[in-house]
Structure 1
Amino acid sequence: MIWVTWRQFRAQALAGLALLAAAAIGFLVTGLGMHHSYAADLAACAPLHACDGATPAARALGAQFSQLQRSYEPMFELLQLLVIAVPAMIGIFWGAPLIGRELETGTHELAWNQTVTRTRWLAVKLTVVGIAAIAAAAMLSWLLTWWAGPLDQLNGNRWAAMTFASRDIVPLGYAAFAFALGTTLGLLLRRTLPAMALTLAVFVAVQILVPTLVRPHLLPSTTTTFAINEATTSQFHDFRGTQTDFHFDLPTPRGAWLTSQPPVLNSSGQVVRIDDYPDCFPDVPGDVPDVGRIGACLAKDNLHETVTYQPASHYWPLQWMETGIFLLLAGALAGTCFWWIRRRQN
């Protein structure tokens, strides 16, 4: 049965292996050059204690780091998108046709009339192709995590939706889920093309909904409230406002994931507007606001702003939790396949 599965799957497997090899070569060729440049810049600033940007020499080196980021930014975004897209491709081209094509063409009848049981037939297919899917996602995830290491250090943000979803172990869970989803839809719909289209639609919806509705709530967040006055606003990074509200960019611990930053509120919890304080904001459009002066002007009204974030220490727990959720979903979908096969047999 394993040999038969390999014979049926070998075209997709060889194509995937060729693409994986090409991707690995691309990662290694471009990544080695970037890592060398980053190490050279880092070695130049470390002896001068100039990596913090506080001296002219440090600012010059900081410009080199910025140039490194700009040089690799388009490739950075493209490779992240590639790693996120691979599980979807696995679900579409490996999962959906795995059973759906056999049911569509009727070749399953030949397999089911042999000595191999339907349950074993399905188990072998799911195991062989599922392991290949997870292995492919693991290799690409590892390559990207290594390749983007210098850029992740410079960006200081591992929490962006595409970054989190394309790093470390989460892509393995996505690959298992997408493969099981495609297989299940192919089994239930009995048509390959509709199963492929629906697999893509569901996977895209999951990629949109999970970072916004699920991931921020898997672990308790940390919430901090700042009073708006001269002492606190002088530590804020920036100020942004519209006709309806305004807020300051509040400081969070390094490596934290900012999940919520509501506008400035008054003591009653109501949103305040720039128009409510015409004396506190510059009148000339385009002026760079002095946030310290604005804070001193606003201090008399007891305004405050709240920031909610996931600390950096939650990164790996959330990686494991999200991976576990998708592995459980993949297991539930595989269980659905076995239930359907047994029900059909009965």
Structure 2
Amino acid sequence: MTTISYSPRRGLIWAVLRLHRVPLWAWTVMVIVGAGGLIWLYELGQEAARESVRCGVGGTGTGALQCATEMRYEGNELDFAQLFAWLPFGAACAGAALIGRELEHGTATLAWTQSVSPVRWLAVKLAVPAVALLSGTAALTLMFRWVWGSGPDNGVNRWSSQYFNAAGSVGPAYVLLGLALGALAALLTRRTLPAVGLALVGIGLAYNLGNGVRFLLWPASEVRGPLGSALNHVYQLDSGMIMESGKHVSGLDCNDQAVPGDLSTCLSDHGAVDFYAKIHPTSHYWPIQLVETGIVLALAAAAVASAFWVLRRRLP
């Protein structure tokens, strides 16, 4: 006679999947809908790119229609980027609700009496949603980059916070941080609604701090001379004029000059010899992405470690 082996760890994973099957299915549907929307956006971008040369200011006929298509593509692309920016907040709510509800209703204590240690319980409770959220977010991020790279160059600066978080490794990292903060908040409060509020405050602070210090994470480059449209696809930190003494004076420009376009006269009027700008060019995009991703993942790891510490401290 053969004996059926039973693994408490595997049984706990299936129990978590079954208990939280509704949010997991809802997340799956959201990912599928998001992927379908991105495929539609890709087709719209291809339609706009095919006749981009016929779109011009004051265009008529097909050109005017093409301009409308390109503007519609640009607006929808930004809408998708803004929606993806909210995913970490959803992850924070999920982490707080999934763990806070069991602590509040006492089902966690019941699970701890069924050959499941509290540490293993928390590990599985974090691992299952982490895998689901990370895989779905990574898939949507890759698809967004595919749409972005194949669409028309509509002049949008992808260094903006929405695009930056939607098109790189930073977005999935913030999702993991949101989940970890939600779990920590649930263990601290042992109530679902207070945990959700605390987790949202935490991920909001982290998100805004990341947007504020992001471009200090990598040394900026300095370029000189009149730049004009060369600054369209870079992130500009500072600009101004270089004085005869070599001093850089920020904020000086030629917008108020009497003869537009006469840059040499403008420089002479200000006692300057050249223009300058401190920027992050395209080559800095991935270094900044990876540095911020590492910092966010380190914060997520610290939040997870704190959650386990709080759990051990508050064991019944």
1: CA distance, partners of 2:123 / 2:13: 10
2:147 corresponds to:
147
Structure-2 residue corresponding to 1:317: 287
1:220 corresponds to: 219
CA offsets, 1:197-218, max 9 Å, x none?
22222323333221222x1111
| Equivalent residue number for residue 24 of structure 2 | 13
Q: Secondary structure at the match of 1:259?
A: strand
Given the superposition, is the C-alpha separation of residues 344 and 202 from structure 1 closer, same or farther in structure 2, using an over 3 Å criterion? closer
- Confirm or deny that 1:41 pairs with 2:51: yes
Equivalent in the alignment of 2:92: 91
* Cα separation, 1, equivalents of 2:195 and 2:83: 22
TM-score normalised by structure 2 residue count: 0.82
Q: Quote the residue 1:125 is aligned against.
A: 125
Identify the residue that residue 5 of structure 2 maps to in structure 1: none
In the alignment, structure 1 residue 296 sits paired with structure 2 residue 262: no
Structure 1 unaligned blocks of 5 or more: 54-59, 227-234, 238-249, 283-288
Q: Secondary structure at the match of 2:34?
A: helix
Distance of aligned partners of 1:272 and 1:11 in 2 relative to their CA distance in 1, 3 Å threshold: closer
Q: Percent identity?
A: 30
1:281 partnered with 2:257 = yes
Deviates more, 1:317-326 or 1:65-74: 65-74
Counterpart residue identity of residue 7, structure 1? R
Aligned to 1:114: 114
Instruction: Quote how far apart the aligned CAs of 1:144 are.
Output: 1.8
Alignment of 1:59-208 (within 5 A): 66-92=67-93, 94-151=94-151, 153-155=153-155, 157-208=157-208
Counterpart residue type for residue 268 of structure 2: A
The TM-score with structure 1 as length reference comes to 0.75
CA gap 1:305/1:126 in 2 versus in 1, 3 angstroms: same
Q: SS of the counterpart of 1:154?
A: coil
CA separation in 2, counterparts of 1:81 and 1:3? 34
Distance in 2 (alpha carbons) for counterparts of 1:210 and 1:82: 18
SS at match of 1:157: coil
Distance 1:133 1:236, change over 3 A: closer
Give, in whole Å, the separation in 1 of the partners of 2:81 and 2:267. Answer: 43
Contact 2:210 2:292 in 1 (8 A): no
SS at match of 2:51: helix
Instruction: Calculate the aligned-residue CA RMSD, in Å.
Output: 3.3
CA deviations over 1:139-172 (Å, ceiling 9, x no partner): 2212222223344733263211111111032211
Amino acid at match of 2:257: F
- Aligned to 1:153, what secondary structure does the other structure show? coil
SS at the partner of 2:277? strand
Comparing 79-88 with 139-148, greater Cα deviation is found at 139-148
Map of 1:231 onto structure 2: none
1:71-119 Cα shifts (integer Å, max 9, x gaps):
2222122111111111211211x21112211111122210112211111
The whole-number CA distance in structure 2 between the counterparts of 1:342 and 1:106 is: 17
